[in-house]
Amino acid sequence: MTNQLIKALTSPIKGEGLGKAFEQSFKRICESIGEDAVQELEEFRSKTIELQWNASQRGFELAQAIYEEAEYLDLNCRFDEDNRFGYKSKTLRKNIVVVLQSLGFKKNNAEKLVKAAQFLLASKDHVQNWLKSLTPSHVYVLSMMNESGLNQVISEVKYEDFHLCAGAKDISVRRLEEIRRWHPKKDKPKEDKGSSKPPLPLSLPVATEDIQVFADPINNAEEVIERTDAELVKELVSLVQEIELDVVYGDSELRAALEVVQDPLMTLAEMAITKPKRPTYV
């Protein structure tokens, strides 16, 4: 239990926070506060992750509703005396993440819910109806794809000869992540300050012939370069730091995927734990 808490306290999130160099310090800190305190803090951490996961759909709906209220203010209250220069709608849009944080969502999760809400509200017609049937995790991953990736997803979920108007087949977050890795959205130039409206309406191609299926990398004729263990470990560290543990916690398919490599993961975890040096006697 203590080791899990120490790992959580010293694991950097997106480059911020403490690192492994502070593990020994936190071992001493945990000893000083006592086992009961450590256990309560670990329970608090676990329940927080679970509560945020369970409330993510409601947070997603709240973000959408705030965007819709901002749009209402733009259309109907722009010239009200207490809304000079339309500041209310701008302020609402800028503070959606803050509102979600005030409810207990972590900043990282709040930003993802806002990103997903923007993407859903920017879509149209059958695409938007389809997105509304998905979880916030699904919509967020979709929002991080370029157009080719979105086309690939549509080709997999739509029924033959239809373009989502007849509903859609199920698709897992894990599969969406695979597609996103091949078709990531490139960062666009930053917009002017004060502009935080959702992007222009998203309209994906309707005709079947417009659907672009990405090439299977296994069948590519490119030369395969074998990577060294050092390169693989470096890449593994980078990937592990990008994984959102609370997302994996709430996705049974992702957890099941990890079970396949349970033994090597446990071995790697043991290797990653800094072992105290044995004293040298002269």
- Quick check: 195 pLDDT over 50? no
Between 155 and 232, where is the model more confident? Answer: 155
- Among residues 137, 129, 93, the alpha carbon closest in space to that of 113 is found at 137
Structural domain range at position 162: 59-222
What is the domain count for the chain?
A: 2
Residue 184 lies in a domain: yes
Least confident of 4-18, 22-36, 155-169: 4-18
Between 177 and 81, where is the model more confident? Answer: 177
Q: Are residues 90 and 212 in the same domain?
A: yes
Q: Are residues 123 and 204 in the same domain?
A: yes
- How many Å from the N-terminal Cα to the C-terminal Cα in the chain? 37
Q: How confident is the model at residue 275 (pLDDT cuts 50, 70, 90)?
A: low
- Quick check: 221 pLDDT over 80? no
Between 63 and 209, where is the model more confident? Answer: 63
Q: Are residues 72 and 83 in the same domain?
A: yes
Residue 54 lies in a domain: no
Residue 68 lies in a domain: yes
Residue 162 lies in a domain: yes
Q: Are residues 211 and 242 in the same domain?
A: no
Name every residue whose Cβ is closer than 8 Å to that of residue 3 and which is 6 or more positions away in sequence: 273
pLDDT tens-digit readout, 130-166: 899 999 999 999 999 999 999 899 889 888 766 776 6
Q: Are residues 186 and 105 in the same domain?
A: yes
Residue 172 lies in a domain: yes
What per-residue confidence (pLDDT) applies to 224? 33
Measured distance CA(140)–CA(251) in Å, rounded = 14
**What's the token pair of residue 269?**
């975890």
Q: Are residues 168 and 99 in the same domain?
A: yes
Between 263 and 225, where is the model more confident? Answer: 263
Q: Are residues 82 and 186 in the same domain?
A: yes
Q: Are residues 241 and 195 in the same domain?
A: no
Q: Are residues 86 and 209 in the same domain?
A: yes
- Quick check: 190 pLDDT over 70? no
Q: Are residues 213 and 247 in the same domain?
A: no
Between 220 and 170, where is the model more confident? Answer: 170
Point out the domain boundary residue: 222, 237, 266.
222
What per-residue confidence (pLDDT) applies to 215? 29
- Quick check: 244 pLDDT over 50? yes
Residue 34 lies in a domain: no
Point out the domain boundary residue: 183, 198, 222.
222
- Among residues 71, 274, 273, 260, the alpha carbon closest in space to that of 174 is found at 260
Q: Are residues 192 and 227 in the same domain?
A: no
Q: Are residues 200 and 70 in the same domain?
A: yes
Q: How confident is the model at residue 58 (pLDDT cuts 50, 70, 90)?
A: very high
- Quick check: 47 pLDDT over 90? no
Between 54 and 99, where is the model more confident? Answer: 99
Residue 53 lies in a domain: no
Q: Which residues pair with 16 in a beta bridge?
A: 13
Q: How confident is the model at residue 96 (pLDDT cuts 50, 70, 90)?
A: very high
**What's the token pair of residue 223?**
């030369």
Q: Which long-range contacts (CB under 8 A, 24 or more apart) does 200-207 make?
A: 200/122, 201/122, 201/123, 201/124, 202/119, 202/122, 202/123, 202/124, 202/127, 203/123, 203/124, 203/125, 203/127, 204/127, 204/147, 204/150, 204/151, 204/154, 205/151, 205/154, 206/163
pLDDT tens-digit readout, 104-131: 888 889 999 999 999 999 988 888 888 9
Query: Can you tell me the mean pLDDT for 30-44?
Result: 86
Residue 52 lies in a domain: no
SS (H, E, C) the chain: CHHHHHHHHHCCECCECCCHHHHHHHHHHHHHHCHHHHHHHHHHHHHHHHHHHHHHHHHHHHHHHHHHHHHHHHHHCCCCCCCHHHHHHHHHHHCHHHHHHHCCCCHHHHHHHHHHHHHHHHECHHHHHHHHCCCHHHHHHHHCECHHHHHHHHHHHCCCCCCCCCCCCCCCHHHHHHHHHHCECCCCCCCCCCCCCCCCCECCCCCHHHCCCCCCHHHCCCCCCCCCHHHHHHHHHHHHHHCCHHHHHCCHHHHHHHHCCHHHHHHHHHHHCCCCCCCCCC
Name every residue whose Cβ is closer than 8 Å to that of residue 27 and which is 6 or more positions away in sequence: 2, 6
